[in-house]
Structure 1
Amino acid sequence: MATPITTINKQQLTEEQLKDQKLENLKQLLSENEEAVNQVFTIMAELNDIGALEAATKLIEAKEEIAHIALGQMTRKPVTNIINNLMGVAGVLTEMNPETTTKLVESLNTGLDVANKAVESDEKVSVFKLVKLLKDPDINRALNFGIHFLKGLGKGLE
């Protein structure tokens, strides 16, 4: 009978053997992905030709200076004002009813189209015509909306 195995000897590779094994794995990977590797080298050559690689290298070398400049620009008063205003507008928009907003924007577009056509016709508006236009239901609706909008705006400003 054979003697039982009591210890397992793990094969220790030398540093040279590890390098050879890694090199062999890399060769196999390159041969299996030849087309992709060629495309990567083509892209790199194009980037080098237009100077993009050099620019990227310089950006990486100057990363601390660039970060300092970017932070300096972001903390300027006009930039912080824009950010605060955008946050305020976003807050207002979240409180508004989407159907009302859509209807208002569509009405504004329609109004702009009609106004542009009126400007192109170069028609004069007399006082008599203004009084007559107050009877038009569309104009009356818009005036009613505008008056009540201004009333609400005034209450909000109080």
Structure 2
Amino acid sequence: MAKAITQIEKKRKSKQEERTEDLSAIINQIADNREIIQDTLIILQELHATGVLDMLKGLLRTREKVGQIAIEQINQPGMHNIIKNGMNTIGLLAEMDSDQLKAMFSGLNTGLEKAAESAKAQEEVGLWGLMKSVRDPNVRTSMNTMVNFLEGMGNGLNQQKTH
């Protein structure tokens, strides 16, 4: 009859064998992710070349002072309004139709160019010139847009008063 097993001995790896297995696993991961690692190294090289990496190192070394300064700046009385206004502006931009905004900015840009040319040439428009320009279709379109804008803005302001 066979002898009963009373003790199980686990084969333990030496520290050298464990290190060899760990290094082998790391090498396999590097081989599996070669492209990602190369891209990361390129990004790090660019950050180093532009000095951004040095700035980040400095920022991390002085993070407590930087954090303290940031908190002090945020706690300035006007900063709360700036943050609220920024959030409201972002909300406004999110609600706007991008095509309409593009058309308005295009018109604004063209108008600014025309105004700059007129100012550069030192052209002055008299009362008769103003009356004459009202008949211009471009001026009429712009005036119509402004009147509709003012009407819509007034409507929005009146709605705010009632709420």
Q: TM-score range by the shorter chain?
A: 0.5 to 0.7
In structure 2, stretches of 5+ residues that fail to align are 31-37, 159-163
Contact 2:59 2:66 in 1 (8 A): no
Aligned to 2:143: 143
Q: Say whether residues 1:106 and 2:106 are aligned partners.
A: yes
Structure 2 vs 1, CA of residues 149 and 56 (structure 1 numbering), >3 Å: closer, same or farther? closer
Which whole-Å deviations, capped at 9, do the CAs of 1:73-119 have from their partners, x for residues lacking one?
22333332222111111212222222211110111111112222222
How far apart, in 1, do the equivalents of 2:110 and 2:63 lie? 50
Which whole-Å deviations, capped at 9, do the CAs of 1:33-86 have from their partners, x for residues lacking one?
xxx9xx9xxx8xx99xxxx59x947954x5444433322322333332222111
How far apart, in 2, do the equivalents of 1:139 and 1:59 lie? 57
Within 5 Å, which residues of 2 pair with 1:73-152?
73-152=73-152
How far apart, in 2, do the equivalents of 1:89 and 1:128 lie? 41
Partner letter of residue 110 of structure 1? T
Aligned to 2:161: none
Structure 2 vs 1, CA of residues 69 and 121 (structure 1 numbering), >3 Å: closer, same or farther? closer
SS of the residue aligned with 1:67? Answer: helix
Structure 2 vs 1, CA of residues 124 and 67 (structure 1 numbering), >3 Å: closer, same or farther? closer
RMSD: 3.8
Aligned to 1:153: 153
Partner letter of residue 148 of structure 2? H
SS of the residue aligned with 1:135? Answer: coil
Give the TM-score of the pair, scaled to structure 2. 0.62
In structure 1, stretches of 5+ residues that fail to align are none
- Following TM superposition, by how much is the alpha carbon of 1:125 offset from its aligned partner in structure 2, in angstroms? 0.9
Structure index of larger Rg? 1
Partner letter of residue 133 of structure 1? S
SS of the residue aligned with 1:12? Answer: coil
How far apart, in 2, do the equivalents of 1:80 and 1:149 lie? 30
Partner letter of residue 115 of structure 1? A
Paired-residue identity, %: 26
How far apart, in 1, do the equivalents of 2:59 and 2:136 lie? 67
Structure 2 vs 1, CA of residues 10 and 59 (structure 1 numbering), >3 Å: closer, same or farther? same
